[in-house]
Amino acid sequence: MSKFSRVTLASALMCGTMLATPLLVAGAAHAQDMSAAPAKSHEETIDQRIAKLHKELKITPDEETNWSGVAGAMRDSAAAMQKLAADKAAEAPGSQTAVDDLKTYEQFAHAHVDGLRNLTTAFETLYASMPDAQKKLADNVFRSFGRNKAPARG
């Protein structure tokens, strides 16, 4: 794994948010070797994640307008991370100082926070439109997201 990929992955793991983390980890995997994977592969991964969440949340036809805001926020966040990853991957290997590494981490963290802020705003609108039973379902989906995949903290 390249130094850049470790920084990106560390950013994703340290930020540790419910929905955005898988997007960041996917970005880190693609940043490892940008020439080996076409951009479409990343989009399909995001679209698969969006479709899975759509199904798990049991989005109704009446909720599609609000859902489109959530899906758009997820896609925008993934695209911003992918662009940042591509820009960083294009830099000369070994040219970064320790300070540059920290600044890179900061850029990923800012992009992550911006994406999460947009996702939260879009999801609040969707959540407010849900009946109580569906809100409870959403609470459980978010609460359990990634629990079987993440290492125990302690």
pLDDT tens sequence across 61-84: 999 999 999 999 999 999 999 999
Q: What is the mean pLDDT of residues 39-44?
A: 53
**For residues 46 and 104, is the Cβ–Cβ distance under 8 A?**
no
Q: Is 81 among the domain residues?
A: yes
Neighbouring CB atoms inside 10 A of 124's CB total 13
pLDDT score, position 95: 81
In a domain, 14, yes or no: yes
pLDDT one-digit tens code per residue, 100-125: 889 999 999 999 999 999 999 999 99
Q: What is the pLDDT of residue 124?
A: 98
Name the more confident of 92 and 98.
98
27 within some domain: yes
Q: What is the span of the domain harbouring residue 123?
A: 3-144
Q: How far apart are CA 88 and CA 8, in angstroms?
A: 10
Torsion of CA 105, 49, 67, 117, to 10 degrees: -10
Greater model confidence, 127 or 150: 127
CA distances from 118 to 124, 131, 150, 151 (A): 10, 23, 24, 27
Q: 21-25, 47-51, 56-60, 128-132 — which is least confidently predicted?
A: 21-25
Kindly report the backbone phi and psi dihedral angles of residue 139, in degrees, each rounded to the nearest multiple of 5, phi listed first.
-55, -45
Total domains present in the chain = 1
- Note whether residue 151 is domain-resident: no
Q: Is residue 154 part of a domain?
A: no
Contacts of 34 (CB under 8 A, 6+ apart): 85, 86, 89, 90
Distance of CA 85 to the CA centre of its chain: 13
* 150 within some domain: no
pLDDT band at residue 13, thresholds of 50, 70 and 90? very low
